[in-house]
């Protein structure tokens, strides 16, 4: 059905509102978080175990040592992307997916006020990242020693090479996919728990002037003001981006859900990576600010050994990935608009690439909008003072 996306949107809005409500109570939200952690960990464990079981039962590895790139001429004749034609570009762009994997850890810093020992937050984040990295490595090994890293290859090996029963395969896949779907709700749970409290702290420090009128109602334990604001903002963004994904985006990578939902899920995949990338851009900007503070010493801080070394590495790495992630879709748009390849799907590809570039600039512009607003307010105050003095 072409209207399936409306049902998905309605359910998404209800889920968002629900998690914002329970986010007001940290105990309830933390209970949800434990359930989602279990739902998240079990599919990981199943994937690792199944991968090694397949390997020891004689399952074959289908990974290719050859990297196949499209001929550069197809950029001109078929509108191919530079990510699939130029070696290295696709790898750098795909690294934004790595940022998505680690995105949730910085949210722990926003929950320091809820912790028994807030000073241990950096250590907790470091340990969490280390454990997550080890788990990711196990997943990479388990999905590489058999098959080609895809679910479909796992199914083919289980069915054709190892003669597993169809019922067993369906039970494992069905349970795993269900738990993965439930675990994804943990992302919303963490955001609705951390986001309002982080925003309340910004309001308290007069760093978010849009809600300064409600400063006297700030409460970090139950951030009602920020919860209402972020809930309304999130629902509006959800509606806007859903409409963009359904009607202004064309990508059938998810080929089993119908045309509209395929477009929506593909668009959500791209924007999820971009959201993580922009988040790490802000983190890189903060790190660079700390590096500059070492020279200017405008803010008194306790110096840490090796900070400059790791700080520079982080800033350089994020900057390189960001440059390719931003400029690749822009270059793709310029190339297809310039060459206008004589292909039937030209208008669809052009529409999709225009949408990608517009949304990308929105992702960059919206996070810095409060900074621009505060800068404008300060300039306006200075101008008004000068006007009064001149009179």
For residue 321, what pLDDT is reported?
86
Judge if pTM exceeds 0.85.
no
Q: Could you tell me the two tokens for 379? A: 């300039």
Looking at per-residue pLDDT, the higher value among 17 and 41 belongs to 17
- Residue 83: its pLDDT value, please? 81
Mean pLDDT value across residues 193-200? 86
Residue 322 near residue 360, CB atoms below 8 Å? no
Which residues on neighbouring strands pair with residue 147, listed in sequence order?
61
Please report, for the chain, the start and end positions of each structural domain, with discontinuous segments joined by +. 1-63+94-247, 250-381
Say whether pLDDT at 203 is over 80.
Answer: yes
Q: At what angle do helices 4-22 and 166-204 cross, to 10 degrees?
A: 50
What pLDDT score was predicted for residue 235?
Answer: 95
Question: Is 24:116 a contact under the CB 8 Å cutoff?
Answer: no
Mean pLDDT on 181-188: 84
Range with the poorest average pLDDT among 53-57, 69-73, 220-224, 346-350? 69-73
SS (H, E, C) 321-372: HHHHHHHHHHHHHHHHHHHCCCCCCHHHHHHHHHHHHHHHHHHHHHHHHHHH
Please state the rounded mean pLDDT for residues 275-290: 84
Report d(CA 332, CA 82) in Å as an integer: 7
Is the pLDDT at 97 greater than 80? The verdict is: no
Question: What pLDDT, on a 0 to 100 scale, did the predictor assign at position 106?
Answer: 63
Percent of the chain surpassing pLDDT 90? 10
Amino acid 270: pLDDT: 79
Handedness of CA 332, 338, 341, 342 (dihedral sign): positive
Average pLDDT in the chain: 82
pLDDT of residue 17: 95
DSSP 59: P
Q: Which of 106-120, 219-233, 277-291 is the most confident on average? A: 219-233
- Report whether pLDDT(224) > 60: yes
Give exposure, 336-369, as e/b (b: 16+ Cβ within 10 Å). beeeebeeeeeeebbebbbbbbebbebbeeeeee
Beta bridge partners of 61: 147
Q: What is the DSSP letter of 222?
A: S
Task: Quickly state the pLDDT bin for 108 (edges 50, 70, 90).
Answer: low
pLDDT for 110? 57
- Extract the tokens encoding 347: 């208008």
The pLDDT score that the predictor gives to residue 22 is 93
C-alpha separations of 310 from 108, 288, 303, 313, 317 in Å: 21, 11, 13, 5, 11
| pLDDT for the residue numbered 231 | 94
Lowest mean pLDDT among 47-61, 162-176, 361-375: 361-375
């Amino acid at each position: 059905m072409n209207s399936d996306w409306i049902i998905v949107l309605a359910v998404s809005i209800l889920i968002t509102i629900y998690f914002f409500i329970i986010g007001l109570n940290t105990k309830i939200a933390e209970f949800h978080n434990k359930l989602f952690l279990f739902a998240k960990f079990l599919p990981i464990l199943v994937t690792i175990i199944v991968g090694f079981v397949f390997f020891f039962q004689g399952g074959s590895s289908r990974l290719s040592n050859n990297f196949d790139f499209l001929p550069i001429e197809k950029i001109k004749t078929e509108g191919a992307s530079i990510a699939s034609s130029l070696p290295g570009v696709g790898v750098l762009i795909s690294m934004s997916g790595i940022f998505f994997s680690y995105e949730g850890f910085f949210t722990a810093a926003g929950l320091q006020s809820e912790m028994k020992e807030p000073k241990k937050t950096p250590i907790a984040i470091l340990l969490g990242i280390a454990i997550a990295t080890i788990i990711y490595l196990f997943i990479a090994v388990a999905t590489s020693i058999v098959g080609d890293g895809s679910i479909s290859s796992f199914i083919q090996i289980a069915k054709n090479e190892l003669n597993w029963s169809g019922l067993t395969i369906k039970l494992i896949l069905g349970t795993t996919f269900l738990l993965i779907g439930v675990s994804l709700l943990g992302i919303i749970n963490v955001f609705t728990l951390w986001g309002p409290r982080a925003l309340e702290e910004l309001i308290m420090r007069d760093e978010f002037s849009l809600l300064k009128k409600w400063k006297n109602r700030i409460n970090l334990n139950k951030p009602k003001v920020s919860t209402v604001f972020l809930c309304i903002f999130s629902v509006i963004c959800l509606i806007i981006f859903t409409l963009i994904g359904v009607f202004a985006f064309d990508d059938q990578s998810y080929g089993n859900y119908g045309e509209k939902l395929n477009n929506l899920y593909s668009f959500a995949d791209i924007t999820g990576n971009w959201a993580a990338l922009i988040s790490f851009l802000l983190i890189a900007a903060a790190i660079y600010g700390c590096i500059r503070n070492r020279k200017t010493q405008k803010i008194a801080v306790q110096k840490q050994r090796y900070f400059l070394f790791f700080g520079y590495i982080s800033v350089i790495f994020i900057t390189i990935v960001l440059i390719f992630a931003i400029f690749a879709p822009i270059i793709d748009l310029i190339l297809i608009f310039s060459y206008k390849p004589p292909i039937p799907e030209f208008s669809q590809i052009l529409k999709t690439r225009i949408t990608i570039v517009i949304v990308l600039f929105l992702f960059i512009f919206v996070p810095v909008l409060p900074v621009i607003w505060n800068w404008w307010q300060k300039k306006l105050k200075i101008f008004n003072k000068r006007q009064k003095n001149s009179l």
